[in-house]
Structure formats: structure tokens, C-alpha cells
Amino acid sequence: MSPPLPAVLLIHPFTRLLRGDVTLPGSKSLTNRALLLAALCKDKVTLTAALFSEDTHLMVEALNALGFTVSANAEAGVIEVSGQDNGFKSERPVDLFVGLAGTAARFLTALCAAAPGGFYRIDGIPQMRKRPMKGLIEALRSLGADIRCTEAEGFFPIEIRAKGLRGGEVAIDASESSQMLSALLMVAPRAAKPITISTIGGVRWPFVQMTALIMRAFSAGNAPGVDRLDDNRFRVTQTACVSPGAYAIEPDATAASYYAILPIVANGVLTLCNLHPGLQGDTRFIETIQRVGLTAKPTQRGLEVSFSAGSSGHGVAENFNEFSDTFLTLAAISPLLSGPTTITGVAHSRKQETDRVAGMVRELRKLGQEVEEFEDGLTITPRPLKSGVEIETYGDHRFAMSFGILGCYDLHGDGRPWLSIKNPACCAKTFPNFFELLEAKRQESLSS
């Protein structure tokens, strides 16, 4: 077990060329989706290469509390889900805690609403009580769910008196989080009748497509589980979840973004092991960094990303609407690019772990950058970086990791640290050993 991280972590820059490879954690999005679908199966499901982090731990603990048998072997990267016949059998109220995990919050709300019976109370930390839930709650209610918001309407904490879902036509506003639509799609096979879903206000398709594809893997004979009728309507054709036996989780494409952009900060070449185009829409970030000036080359071992010393990366204009979790990665290193960088399509990220747009603006300005903020994003014009800055992370893992990468830049040319990260341990949400791995790569570069 690694030693605990300090309250404030000083980042040591890379002084030698980056080289070698990095093994990424499993996808949080896929791990939590697979856990929910496994609970809906009749037979045991074994997840391999699964993510072990705060978010997935909360999902595992909740499923155990609901009566399922979920065993985990972190060292082997394996999670087994069994005992599905024992799920939802408690005669007492079941309390579920989701922390700040949006996937667990939305998925468990839908799962409990679709249960045949039982009384469930779901809550998280104070910040989770501010995250959007209204669209999902209203859609589930229209399908017959008895859900009560015990404080503010449309937000946690909630109480669910389960009696199943009746099915039929339903509309959902998932514009603030595609997880709400994904949650509804995955539990739809439990409804009394087939469900046809209409979306209100648009939805970020890549994550919904990921859900549809993983549902296919949990469908007998790999039959389509979801038909997309048009841009705004879906029909769930899957009538039951069927165990695939073993299901392998892909490396996390969002986590990959930090190491994919590291070569432009530290110079050199890095192979992201086993990262290939697959279910995850966030692999689109690779196209973005190529426009910035990095070279990305698929290999049998994974994705090789490189940047030559003496080269110049350049600012870009990019709409991140469909892969918004990665926008902070680019924004944080934008001071190193020539010319402005404009990021749009991320208004919804103001309602995630924190207001990510406003937070990024504040931290970049502390670093001396010229930043224009607008509702949908920001424009960063590079200015000389200020040294001795302490980055506030707002308890948001993506701030910690994005600025951790920026701190690897050798600002003074002599290896002196110049940037520090507050509360680096918040990375435990999705990438517990992020800073340990980053330091290992720095040490590896020194010895090569």
C-alpha cells in the first residue's frame, strides 16, 4: 500500500526525456455500468481489469447492501457479482451512500426504482446534493416509481418505495448528464412492458452509445439491446440481462488523457498500454492532441504518443461537448502552447463535482494566464507562468490530475518545483495511484 499523500503536494518537474510505457486503470464508466448489469443477471458475472477506486467501491458497497454478493480482489483486478436471487429481499429500509459518485447515484436510483419491492434511502456528500437528478427522477416517476425528495425537489437525498416500473413511453431530460439516460436504458429490461424513451434538450451521445454497446454484451446472442429510432428516441428491445461469464473492462480513456498529453509537457515518447479505440467516447481526445501538435500512433501494445524537444505545440479551438471530462486536461497545459486555446461545449460541467469552468478560470488566472470566461467555456491566452502557485482542487480529481501534469513542466530549466496541488488524495475517486505513477515515470526518465 502506498503512503498517504500530503495535504499539499509539490510537483517535481521532468528534467530528462520521457520514455517507456504506462498501464492505465480500468474505466470507471464501464466498471460501474458492468456492475449494474451484472446485478440484473441471473448468473455469476466476473469483471476483469476492473477499476478499484472510490467511485467503484461505493457501487460495490451499495450492491452488497442491496443483498447481492459482490467480492473484489484489487490485486488481481477482479470483481465477481453473484447471489442475484438475494437482491432486494430486505424487509427493513436500506440506506445507500454514494459520496460524490455521479454514476453510482444515477445508476442506483434507477436500479432501486425498478426493484420489485423494498424501501431505499439514497444520499451522498453535500456536493452530491447539488448535482442534477431531476430528469431521471421525473422519468422514473412517469413509469410508476414512488420517489420522494426529502429536501430539495429534484435532488438528493431521496426515498424510494419500490414496486417496479410499468414500461411504455417515457420522456427524459438528460441534457445535464447523459448518465441519467444511461441509467434508464440499463434498467428498462426490468419493466413490465417494453420502454420507448424520448430525450428532451439533447444528450451527449458517446456515453449513451457506450451504454448501448455494453448492454449488447449482456444480451443473449449479442442481440441489440437498444435501438436508436432517431436522434431523440430509443427503444429498449432487450428483455433480460444475460451473464457473459467474464467481461473485460477497457483501460480508462479519460484517465489516459493526462498521460497522453504528458509528452508535450516533458518531451519524449510514452506508450499507453492496451489503449485502443473501443467503447469510450473520450478516446476522441487523441484527435485533439494531434491538432495541438503531438504524434499519436496505434501499436499492438497500445497507443504511442510522442512530442519532439524543440517543437512547439499550438492552441486550438475545440468543442468538448461529447468528451467533456477531458477538457480540463487541455486547459491546464494551455499556457505551454503558442496562441490562444478556446474550449466550448462544457456548460454542463458547471454542475459536476464542482463548477469546472469557473474553477479552471480561477486557477489559470492565479498562474498569470489571460482567460476569458463564458457560459459555454473559456479562452486561454498564454502569458508567462507564475511560480510558487498552489492549485486549489475543489475536491475534484480532474483538477488535481490536470494541474499535476502541468507541474511536470521544467519552468525554471533546472528541475526546481514551482507548482503544488492541494488535496491530491481526491484522485482516489477514479485514479488512486495517479501521483505515484507520475513520480515513477519521472524517476524512470532520470535513470534512462
Mind listing the pLDDT tens digit for each residue in 162-209?
Answer: 999 999 999 999 988 899 999 999 999 999 998 999 999 878 888 888
Q: In which residue ranges of the chain is pLDDT below 50?
A: none
Q: Which residues does 111 contact at the CB level (< 8 Å), separation at least 6?
A: 36, 39, 40, 66, 183, 187
Q: What region does 314 belong to: left with phi over 0, alpha with psi -120 to 50, or beta?
A: beta
The predicted pLDDT at position 202 comes to 78
For residue 206, whether the previous peptide bond is cis, meaning omega lies within 30 degrees of 0, is no
d(CA 163, CA 175): 27
The string of pLDDT tens digits covering residues 197-239 is 999 987 888 888 899 999 999 987 655 578 888 888 888 877 7
Within 10 angstroms of residue 273's Cβ, the number of other Cβ atoms is 15
The predicted pLDDT at position 181 comes to 95
What is the helix, strand, coil percentage profile of the chain, to 5? 40, 25, 40
d(CA 20, CA 391): 28
Within 10 angstroms of residue 344's Cβ, the number of other Cβ atoms is 17
- Looking up cell 460495490 gives 60
**Encoded amino acid at 398, one letter:** R
The predicted pLDDT at position 398 comes to 95
Report the C-alpha dihedral over residues 6, 7, 12, 18, rounded to 10 degrees.
Answer: 80
For the domain spanning 8-24+251-447, the CATH number is 3.65.10.10
Beta-strand (E) ranges in 212-288?
226-230, 233-236, 246-248, 268-273
Q: Which residues does 319 contact at the CB level (< 8 Å), separation at least 6?
A: 344, 345
- Give yes or no on whether 8-24+251-447 and 28-228+240-248 have one common fold: yes
User: Which sequence positions are flagged as catalytic?
Assistant: 325
- Looking up cell 499519436 gives 296
Contact indicator for 334, 382 with CB cutoff of 8 Å: yes
Q: How far is CA 251 from CA 22, 48, 61, 304, 437, in A?
A: 11, 11, 22, 15, 15
Q: What region does 262 belong to: left with phi over 0, alpha with psi -120 to 50, or beta?
A: alpha
The predicted pLDDT at position 222 comes to 55
Q: What region does 379 belong to: left with phi over 0, alpha with psi -120 to 50, or beta?
A: beta
The predicted pLDDT at position 203 comes to 81
Question: What are the grid coordinates assigned to 94, written together?
Answer: 436500506
The predicted pLDDT at position 237 comes to 79
The predicted pLDDT at position 227 comes to 84
For the domain spanning 28-228+240-248, the CATH number is 3.65.10.10
- Domain locations in the chain as residue ranges: 8-24+251-447, 28-228+240-248
